[in-house]
Structure 1
């Protein structure tokens, strides 16, 4: 019989505490946009599809940035990519503020009228022709999109380095716990941003919420610069080029990445991108808040639940002979959560669904990344993290672009019910991949030395 799990936690290494602190602060910028933008779309005249594009733009950017980020970590170390990635995310958060402060395009028509008429061949560029690019530059959606693109570049570096730092300072006996701690740190700032975006925007306005998030995001880079040392032993291939397709294609990396793909599609793409609209249509509110504020609280509760179970799942996986069973348990929990969401009609129903979905998402995170580290050589862990992030970002990027238009067509319940199937499929992918790589469905916690 395996050992009984224990949930007692030792103090994480100091470097991980520094990583947690900095990723917590920068996470505000990731969460603040979700309660605000879906509702803001109607006010600004942004279509549902464009809102989905903006919300998922950072993930599409990471598709080409994750692999170079992972390769850079394996070649140059973790400290500089981590610090610069946080700084880029802080600057990106300021872009939200700029988006809301840009003047209406019509108020700048005088600029177009003041520009001279220029003839290019048979085409004369007068005021009407000059006005189109001016309107594009000052459009809020342009700045929101640019901010999300910049955020994607920064977060690619942060994600690749944070997980690699955790792998560098861990072994088989504490790898699940440390991965869960780091993943929890990355995500704990997100619910704070959700609350900030929902509650502060309801009380003080959208600009105030974005300014506060930007201040904390910039503080994160200062914390990292002061407290995060170098942890990674780099290779001797610094002069070789870094390419978007330079990813780890081993069975463990692809297996974990495909599981992450499915979970992120349902979690970010379906739940987070549509919750504020679901609340408005079903007239569900909490604490007297409007749909934006209520969605921020519910999403924050979901992520807090995820963070708690990240730690618990990682710790349990460290105390068992194999990480596979605990992963399957939490995938089933995620399945149950989306079934509950499809039937939710009250505040209590929705709270229970969010609790289950958060628990399922979080409970898989620590053990899943620990399993990847168990089965991946140290010198390839940066690239393996990049593969996991690439596939997760495909899922998270496709989710809003597919779910938002489909909900307008078929409604919420069918989409949420379909998302319940995804964790079950992910469980099958996990079992097949693990069996193919190790010859067993229940591999041990420590990779075999080769």
Structure 2
């Protein structure tokens, strides 16, 4: 497979994951207001918006095992198609007698599709990339996945205002279905030439590299997606900080967008740096320190400039970790186990992102923002320790070189 246009395959994966991400974001600016019109309770709106993540918690590991069992091509195409059909389901929900049930069903289906897409996208990239360029490739694919969601947010808000809600949903679905067609036309089988019946659908990769990468992912998602995103608007309100005359809600939106943008940019930077340096661990550690510094700055911030600096550091830190961490996982994992390893990594990341709000909001009420954000600053450092222990126990070196990665 390595001789079959690897750059074209990676480019197709990036485009597909970017386009399909629209369906994940398009519903967020629409459903809260639409829920009131359709008579959907605020609790049910929240459940609908979170349903895909809950589904992924269950589906990530089986999706990874499926990839190792039957290969990447069919699950990748199927996952993209499922997400496209699920996005069309939003339009069915609008006209249905029980819209909340149809929206929930569509989001559940979207979660299943995204579990397949996430497991296959990273595995395909690991399969077709050489060790010396794997960090860059992983960074680009992760950035494509990340950019798709905010692009969907913009699409949902702008197109629904200019045209209508059904048009916004239809456009997002069309992009997802085009992505499925693109994958069918370009992306070959990269992982398995024949089905492996010995790989069970429920098998979870508990190897040291998978658990190490997954625990680092857990810490970052817990503090960044979980605690920061769920508490930032309350923090702004308490400190009385605003920009451009917006309320705390509007200001938090700008700051969250800044963290996402910084994260996306540094996903590319981190992966490329790890390739140039020829080692993943120092780059991951450097960006973990950046995330730590960001939370410390945020905890002490008393102005909009301080808040922006803290959020940008946090975004850069979590983004910069992504590419080299996934490349390190691929370097240390046998090719025929990469699907399951990716599944473990995704499960632990989603668990962290889901637990963060459950722990963060009550902790802020009980202890205040400074102790909670200071604790979040410790998490990246703890993740760095986990990384060093895991890498050393598996390789006998604290800093394995890219050139030492086994050839697939």
Give the match's secondary structure for 2:333.
Answer: coil
Give 5+ residue unaligned stretches, structure 2: none
Q: State the number of aligned residues.
A: 401
Shift of residue 428 of structure 1? 1.0
Aligned equivalent of 2:70, options 73, 76, 90: 76
Q: Residue 190 of structure 1 contacts residue 300 of structure 1 at CA under 8 Å; is this kept in 2?
A: no
Residue number in structure 1 paired with 2:318: 361
- Name the larger-Rg structure: 1
Distance in 1 of aligned mates of 2:259 and 2:159: 19
Is 1:149 matched up with 2:145? Answer: no
Cα distance per residue 1:224-269 (max 9 Å; x no partner)? 233322222345524x57433x122111111011111111122222
TM-score (norm 1): 0.77
Residue number in structure 2 paired with 1:217: 176
Give the match's secondary structure for 2:21.
Answer: helix
Is 1:18 matched up with 2:18? Answer: no
Give the match's secondary structure for 1:13.
Answer: helix
Residue number in structure 1 paired with 2:395: 438
- The equivalences for 1:31-430 within 5 A come to 31-33=25-27, 45-47=41-43, 53-97=47-91, 137-138=98-99, 140=100, 142-197=101-156, 210=169, 212-238=171-197, 240=198, 242-244=200-202, 246-275=203-232, 295-344=252-301, 346-404=303-361, 406=363, 414-430=371-387
Is 1:447 matched up with 2:402? Answer: no
Give the match's secondary structure for 2:129.
Answer: coil
Distance in 2 of aligned mates of 1:391 and 1:305: 23
Shift of residue 354 of structure 1? 2.5
Distance in 2 of aligned mates of 1:208 and 1:277: 34
Distance in 2 of aligned mates of 1:59 and 1:342: 28
Distance in 1 of aligned mates of 2:30 and 2:282: 38
Question: Kindly tell me: are residues 97 and 215 of structure 1, through their superposed partners in 2, closer, same or farther at Cα, counting changes over 3 Å?
Answer: same
Distance in 1 of aligned mates of 2:128 and 2:157: 37
TM-score (norm 2): 0.85
Question: Kindly tell me: are residues 158 and 377 of structure 1, through their superposed partners in 2, closer, same or farther at Cα, counting changes over 3 Å?
Answer: same
Distance in 2 of aligned mates of 1:448 and 1:340: 40
Question: Kindly tell me: are residues 277 and 234 of structure 1, through their superposed partners in 2, closer, same or farther at Cα, counting changes over 3 Å?
Answer: farther
Cα distance per residue 1:313-346 (max 9 Å; x no partner)? 1111112242111111100111122233334455
Q: CA RMSD in A?
A: 3.4
